[in-house]
Amino acid sequence: MTVPSVAERSAPDIDAPPILAVRGLWKVFGPKAESVVGSTLTRDELKQQNGCVAAVRDVSFEVRRGEVFVVMGLSGSGKSTLVRCLTRLIEPTAGEILLDGEDVRKADDRSLRELRRHRMAMVFQHFGLLPHRCVLHNVAFGLEIRGVSKRERYARAREVIELVGLNGFENSYPDQLSGGMQQRVGLARALAADPEVLLFDEPFSALDPLIRREMQNEVIRLHHEVGKTMVFITHDLSEALKLGDRILIMRDGELVQVGTPDQVVGAPADDYVRDFVSDIPRSDVLTLRWIMRPAQPGDPLDGPTLGPDVVIRDAVHAVLSAERPVRVMDGETLLGVVTSAEILEVIAGGPQA
């Protein structure tokens, strides 16, 4: 199984304004939630003293247009709560959520509904399909709610059903489909509304490993085809690394680290993250940028060249078979060199490094 390298994917425009910006978000469950905001007590202490659960504490991040933004953390770390706060399926306790600069928290009922109908759509862990409706009607459900005419909504539903590879199953009912296919229906339903942002709450954790991998590739393919911004929740690090342009790691409701997959693996923010990524083969995630060393005076500089964002694993062959150090070039500038020594160190250091 190959992990598509980060560089392969269309890099989102870093300088453009973010499509989604979250600032100082808190969600506290329990009595007198407001008073807990800003507290520095740990979760357990809060629970003891106030009977409150601080599911999300002071989380800030930005999602760029067109990127796949992964939120990951262990069970109970507040991921689901966080993603539900984005469309106020759970009402946040404090903080700002800006969608294209507009504060979602200030929206009234009607404009919140409009936002949910047109701009953000969600895919659920257990699919959340309507058992009494066939696939076509399930997919058209969101459009029906919006009041789109029958003809139009079924035409659009057929389009997305085709897009997720379910043609031929329009008239099947959810309980006649496998888990993977049901989640394709969930995906199609979210896509049917043509939203700007797709939210996924652990969409594949209820699926078995083979199907999960297939669905991950499907998401990658769809991302290429439709280029939507995606916020993807998972507790599976390899899924996060595989899909994410950037990854946000949460623990006990708090943000621990945000960064690209190679940043997370190469420079874990603390022991928690280090522990998390310790099982990941670094050569699959890190790029040459992470292992190159400055060219020394004696180095022959006529070897082959590679870009700094090439994943180590993809460079192994080229580096080992070259007789000279491989030059890491960003355009015309020489960033550094890589030799068999660096490659072997990463591979030998393996997961423990």
Ligand X SMILES: Nc1ncnc2c1ncn2[C@@H]1O[C@H](COP(=O)(O)OP(=O)(O)OP(=O)(O)O)[C@@H](O)[C@H]1O
According to CB under 8 A, which residues from 154 to 183 bind another protein?
A: 171, 173
What, of Mg ion, another protein, ligand X, none, does residue 81 touch, CB below 5 to 8 Å by kind? ligand X
The answer to the question of residue 80 lying near Mg ion (CB under 5 A) is yes
According to CB under 6 A, which residues from 11 to 40 bind ligand X?
A: 29
What, of another protein, ligand X, Mg ion, none, does residue 78 touch, CB below 5 to 8 Å by kind? ligand X
The answer to the question of residue 352 lying near ligand X (CB under 6 A) is no
**Are 288 and 307 contacting, i.e. CB atoms less than 8 angstroms apart?**
yes
DSSP state string for 124-158: -TT----TTS-HHHHHTHHHHHHT--HHHHHHHHH
Which member of 104, 122, 247, 338 binds another protein (CB under 8 A)? 122
When the beta carbons of 252 and 284 are compared against ligand X, the nearer one is 252
Cα–Cα distance, 231 to 210 (Å, whole number): 23
Cα–Cα distance, 176 to 187 (Å, whole number): 17
Q: Is the dihedral of CA 95, 101, 106, 107 positive or negative?
A: negative
Residue partners of 63: CB distance under 8 A and separation at least 6: 18, 19, 20, 21, 69, 197, 229, 231
Cα–Cα distance, 299 to 337 (Å, whole number): 9
What, of another protein, ligand X, Mg ion, none, does residue 193 touch, CB below 5 to 8 Å by kind? another protein
**Closest distance between ligand X and the C-beta of residue 78, in Å?**
4
The answer to the question of residue 78 lying near ligand X (CB under 6 A) is yes
Distance of CA 155 to the CA centre of its chain: 30
Which member of 21, 89, 211, 316 binds another protein (CB under 8 A)? 89
Which member of 26, 69, 127, 200 binds another protein (CB under 8 A)? 127
Interaction site with ligand X (CB under 6 A)? 29, 53, 55, 73, 75-81, 235
